[in-house]
Every structure is written in structure tokens, then in C-alpha cells.
Structure 1
């Protein structure tokens, strides 16, 4: 059986793969890194289904240009002419883009030495791209001996990723413009199932789909204030998992990832 360091390095590679799909960059080296990751992971996939999907992705992508991928990304997540897939945990939790899950992610980041680079990363802390990037860095850090991050990794998966990732993946998979990303969701499904087994986290029970909250436009400061209040109200009696994954509610975090 592989030792934990090898497993954590492999987990970091998968999170890095998903990060590179959801954090769009104009830098060609980032796209070449994505192609490299696909080629590495398709040689030793988690299972046959994800292996087939990785091979299909490899065949669909142009190894010299990211134009096709960027176009599909825009069609899925930004095109006003098609159904736009939301990318934040808060949206799937409450129907808003800056809610309780963003508060929780800000606090998880505060427990690490990592920070969001606000000059180059504009998405919220609970966006899939940021979450995958953070998890890739933390899994790599754990593999390199920083065991203090093991609990943070477990908590982010259990309290953030696990709660919304199935619904998000379904929305991406079923989107009319989804081609490369449809295959990626097959890989993501296999990886999430692995993570649940490895971290001993149960799949959440199905819940009623949250509708978008179309309240009046409000300022960033007001959004943060409301999110903080919602999070405070949501703090009920603690269970065993809450004790293991404490989240303080505050906004005094200087971000830089």
C-alpha cells in the first residue's frame, strides 16, 4: 500500500488539475501545465471510467492552444445567452454569491500561511477554482511534512466541497455547451468518491435545490455583513465534526493567493 505522502502528492496533482481548469489564465505556461497534468494522470487513473475520460480530454484539447478550452469555459460560466453555471459554494448553499460558505473559507485560509493574490485572482474564496487551488497547496504541504494542515484539509472537504460538489458537477455535466468539462466531471466524480473514502466523509443526503436569491444589488461591505450575520445565526449546538473544524466568524483577513 502506498504511504500517506505518496497519496497526498497524488491528491495534490488532482486538485491542481481541477484548479487549472477553473482558474483561467492568459499565460501559455499554465495551459501547458494543464496538458502535462492530464498526460501524467491518464497513465495511472483512479479507475477505468476516469481513465477513459482523461484520455478523451487529451484527445479533445489542442496541445498548443487554449482557445477551445477558454471558449467552452466562457459558454459555461459567463455567456449570457446560455444558462450560466454558478461556481461558488455559497450559491449552492443559499442562492447567493457571498454567503456563509465564503465566511467559512476565509477563516480556513486564515488558519494557513497561504493568502489570495487579489491582483491576479478575482473570484471569491468559496469559488471552485480557489478551493481547488488551496487544497492542492495544502495537500502538497502535508506531503512535504506540514502535518498541521491535515485537519484543515479534512475540514474544507467535509464542510465545503462535500456539501455542494455533486450538484455543481451535475450542472456542469448537463450543460448544453459542456464537452471537455463534461468529461472532466467524470474525473471529478471518481476523485470525490476517493476523497470521501480516504477522509472518511459520508456523501450528504440529497437536498432541495436552492433557488437564486435575486435581492436588490448591494455593496460588497453589506454582502459581507449579511453573510457574517447569517453565519452567526447558523451556529447552533456543536457536533463532533464542528468541534474538529472550528470556524471563527470574522473578516479581518488580509488576502493574497
Structure 2
């Protein structure tokens, strides 16, 4: 395993954590330590300020923004599954593709501890981090058949979110990292005329669609409606 592949693996691990709903502040502290390490050698010098922005967040502030950007039911949020970007719906062919890749490894999703689907972006990034250590051929296949397809739309939608500060910095780092990944793997960005995700959302992301704010944090209140 080359030093470059080790660094790539670290970056995918860094990219995965902010997409998972987690109430354990200890995991956030571990993430911050990782950010400090990666900030010493950013992919692009323009990301120095982005790392500083992320490091300025404590757990409470991060959770507040994460809820607003990813889980707040008052807004059309950034889609978080590869299938949604490909087909405008969850649980589609991209999930089957991830499962097919998983079947060729010794790894499986622990459904008891991991409640997201196999094509959840955070899960894909964690898997990519693992495959870079275990099977470079499969890691390339995962990038070429999934990550390369959704990453540009993911970047666009995250960048447009009006409440993103932490996640604006996060997506700036992601964008430069993806540019490096495509260079390393000799791949180009896919060309598409229309976004299936935006067609499915049927309006510009993040416009309010509910009269009062409801969130994943207050899920019990929401289910009583």
C-alpha cells in the first residue's frame, strides 16, 4: 500500500463522519483530531481556511448545523444516497452495486449498528477508505461506478445550502480531493443534461416545504402530527 493510498484512505474516512447522525461527542473529538492531522498537508492550499473553519466548531455547534443541512424536515435537504442522484429515489440500482462489491469482500454492513443503506454516501466513503487498504481494484471500481457519478451534484447541492458553514468548508475540501482522485485514476467527470435528483426534488433545494420547523432531533414530535 503506497503512501498516496494511505492518504486517500484517511481523506475518505474524514469525509464519512459528518454525514452520519451521531450523538456521541467522543466520536466528534476523534474526527477533530483527524482534521488537525489532515490540515497539516491539505490537497490544495485554498483549503487551509476550510480546515480552520471546521476546527472552529465544537460538537454542539456542529450538531446544530448538521441537523439544519442534512436532517431538518422543514427543508429539501442534500440527498444522501447514490441512488437518489442516479434515479431520483432511494434504494435503487446503486445500492445493488454497492452490495455486489461488498459480496466480493469479507466485509458486510452490520444492520444492528449501521441503520443506513449500503448506498448512503457516508457508508460509501467508509467502504472506500477500507478498500484502499484491502483491495485497490475494488476501490477503483467503487469510485468509477458510484462516487464519480454523484460527487459533482453532491458538491453543487451542498455548496448552495444557505445554512452551510461547516459543510461549505467540508465540500470545498471534498471538491479539491475529488479533482485529485480523478487525476490519480485517470477519470473524467460524467456529462449529464439533467439532474435526476433535482428533477425528483422538483424545485431548487432548501426552500421550506413545511409551515413550522421539524427536525430529526425532534422526531417524536413530528410523528404526532
TM-score under structure 1 normalisation? 0.74
Whether 1:18 and 2:4 are equivalent positions in the alignment is no
Corresponding position of 2:182: 196
2:64 matched residue in structure 1:
71
Question: Aligned equivalents of 2:91 and 2:144: distance in 1?
Answer: 20
Tell me which residue corresponds to 2:142.
156
Please give the secondary structure, in 1, of the residue aligned with 2:21.
Answer: coil
What is the count of residue pairs matched by the alignment? 200
Is the CA contact (8 Å cut-off) linking 1:76 and 1:84 kept in structure 2? yes
Take 1:213 and 1:175, find their aligned partners in 2: how far apart are those partners?
A: 14
**Counterpart pick for 1:31 among 13, 28, 31:** 28
Name which one, 1 or 2, has greater alpha-carbon Rg: 1
Let me know the Cα RMSD of the aligned residues. 1.5
**Aligned partners of 2:3, 2:26: CA distance in 1, in Å?**
26
Structure 2 segments unaligned to the other structure (5+ residues): 203-225
* 1:153-192 aligned within 5 A: 153-192=139-178
Moved more, 152-161 or 49-58: 49-58
Aligned to 2:205: none
Task: Please give the alpha-carbon distance, in whole angstroms, between the structure 1 residues aligned to 2:74 and 2:23.
Answer: 24
Query: 1 CA distance for matches of 2:27 and 2:174?
Result: 20
Q: Which consecutive segments of 4 or more residues in structure 1 shift more than 6 A? A: none
Which residue does the alignment assign to 2:131?
138
Query: Once the 2 structures are TM-superposed, how far is the Cα of residue 25 of structure 1 from its aligned partner?
Result: 2.2
Structure 1 residue matching 2:22: 3-state secondary structure: coil
Pairing 1:118–2:111 present: yes
Partner of 1:246: none
TM-score if structure 2 supplies the norm length? 0.84
> Aligned partners of 1:206, 1:17: CA distance in 2, in Å?
28
Q: Which SS does the other structure have where 1:132 is aligned? A: helix
Larger RCO (CA under 8 A, 6+ residues apart): 2
Distance in 1, matches of 2:49 and 2:110, equals: 35
Contact preservation (8 Å) 1:76, 1:177: yes
Distance across 2 between alignment mates of 1:23 and 1:140: 22
Question: In the aligned structure 2, how far is the partner of 1:86 from the partner of 1:107?
Answer: 22
